[in-house]
Amino acid sequence: MSSDCRELLRFVQLQNIQLKADNEALMREVEMLHDVLDALRALQEVAASVSEQTNVMGLLDRILASALASINAGAGSLLLVDEETDELVFVVVFGDVREKLTGHRMALGEGIAGWVAANREAVIVDDAHFDPRFSPAVDQDFSFRTYSMVSVPIVYADNVLGVIQALNKLDGETFSEGDLALLGVVAQLAAAAITNMSKVVTAVPPTQLD
């Protein structure tokens, strides 16, 4: 076989390898889009159930639960800004520390949630304990371990109302851009729910959710 033929054969093999890799990447993107669409359908069903009698805290609880399940997160929380004290308050929590952490307060600028609220910027963190913005206080105080995280601000009419966080993928993977996009939609739903119901959510949530 001539050197020209060998070079051509090698080129074709490399192209096939690249095409296979591109195809696998495309398939992963398609699967991600299917997951996002399924999650949006679930969230749409939750949003469609809203009425004048809807309890805001109950709605936020259902919205967050649906979102966390859709992105396969093991835990998550929705924190709201208490403007009187400049604190973030855990008003909806999912995970092993749900009961203990609900109602807990932290300084507005503390940790990744505080950074997200201050900068109005969503973030994906693959390993929280190696991120300089991370504060270990909550993990230490509540015997929890944060590994990966996606965190999104809740913004309405240029006002930061709070932050939504999803923690620790159940399959051990890190969060994706698709997960972040979905949580961004959830944050918009949460902002609309809080504002449209014209209720001020305080640090201590109702003892019973709808």
Residue 39 located in a structural domain: yes
Which of the pair, 119 or 16, is modelled with greater confidence?
Answer: 119
- Predicted pLDDT at 23: 74
Where on the phi/psi map is residue 123: left (φ > 0), alpha (ψ -120 to 50), or beta?
Answer: beta
- Predicted pLDDT at 163: 95
Residue 150 located in a structural domain: yes
- Predicted pLDDT at 43: 58
The alpha carbon dihedral of 84, 113, 180, 77 has a sign of negative
CATH code of 114's domain: 3.30.450.40
Name the domain count of the chain: 1
Name residue 149's beta-bridge partners.
Answer: 125, 167
Q: Please, are residues 65 and 72 in contact by the beta-carbon 8 Å criterion?
A: no
| pLDDT digit string, tens, across residues 101-113 | 999 999 988 999 9
Q: What percent of the chain has pLDDT over 70?
A: 75
Collapsing DSSP to helix, strand or coil, 107 comes out as strand
Residue 154 located in a structural domain: yes
Structure tokens at 103: 């109602």
| Residue of 98, 80, 102 lying closest to 194 (CA atoms) | 80
Q: Mean pLDDT over residues 22-30, rounded?
A: 67
| pLDDT digit string, tens, across residues 54-79 | 677 777 888 888 889 888 899 999 99
- Predicted pLDDT at 210: 45
Residue 186 located in a structural domain: yes
Q: Please, are residues 122 and 116 in contact by the beta-carbon 8 Å criterion?
A: yes
Rounded Cα distance between 145 and 115, Å, is 19
Q: CA 90, 203, 98: angle at the middle one, nearest 5?
A: 35
pLDDT(171) > 60: yes
Structure tokens at 4: 């020209």
Q: Mean pLDDT over residues 81-91, rounded?
A: 92
| Residue-number span of the structural domain to which 56 is assigned | 35-196
Residue 140 located in a structural domain: yes
Return mean pLDDT, the chain: 81
- Predicted pLDDT at 198: 46
Predicted confidence band of residue 131 (pLDDT cuts 50, 70, 90): very high
Rounded Cα distance between 46 and 60, Å, is 10
